[in-house]
Structure formats: structure tokens, C-alpha cells
Amino acid sequence: MKYCQGTKCHTYDTSDRKRGVKGSKTNQTRKRTQFEYGHGDFCTLQCQNDWFRTHGNNAVNHFGRVTSPIILTEANAWQRQYNYNYWENRDTEPQYHEVNQITKAIRGCEQ
Ligand SMILES: [Zn+2]
């Protein structure tokens, strides 16, 4: 079990956030085995956005702010995409592959 990382999760007044004994219940951060947003760390898109509003600038500065344009080249143009041939050939085709956005070449990738 883990807690939603939303900075205001506890402020949203829903019955599933109420914890404690009758008469002294408090709203608390949601706790689940899995969340659907932000790679599993946030219970809603609202909570994800709240976190970003609070920590986004610090996170970007910490991990590296883009200060000049990133140029698309053949070397960095690989993009993971769904392989539509997988739909009819599940035994032989991989579900995902990488497509080069410049050359349109296709290569395998981790599934
Ligand atoms: Zn939340």
C-alpha cells in the first residue's frame, strides 16, 4: 500500500478519504496498492497537477532544465509505437516496435 503523492489530496472532501472513529473522523490522503495517474503515484489527475504546481519548477531545475533547443536527428528519432500487425499475428509479431521519425525505419524494442 502507498499514499497518493498529491499535495492537496487530503483537502478533497470524499467519503473514502475519511478515517478515524465516529465523531473524530479526519480527511486523509488516499492509500491504495495502485494508482492510475503519474506512473502510479497519484489517485487523480487533479492530485498530479497539484503536485506539479507545488514541486514542478524544483523538479525541472533538479533534473535539468532545457536551455537550448533539442534537435531531432536520425540518432534520437526512435519512438516506441504500437505494432498494428500484432492485432492479427499475435504469435509472430511483437506488440510494440520503434519507428524512426525521420527515416521511418522500424526496429525491435523491449516489450
Ligand atoms: Zn490523491
d(CA 33, CA 5): 13
What pTM, to 2 d.p., does this model score?
Answer: 0.72
Q: What is the structure's pLDDT at 90?
A: 93
Q: How far is the CA of 60 from the centre of ligand 1 (A)?
A: 22
| Cα of 56 from ligand 1 centre, angstroms | 16
Ligand 1 center to 63 CA (angstroms): 24
The residues, ordered by sequence, that sit 6+ positions from 40 with a Cβ below 8 Å of its Cβ are: 34
Model confidence pLDDT, tens digit, residues 65-110:
999 999 999 999 999 999 999 999 999 999 999 999 999 999 999 9
Phi-psi region of 53 (alpha: psi -120 to 50; beta: other; left: phi over 0): alpha
Query: In this predicted structure, what is the pLDDT of residue 86?
Result: 95
Give residue 59's pLDDT: 97
111 CA distance to ligand 1 middle (Å): 30
Mean pLDDT of 51-72: 97
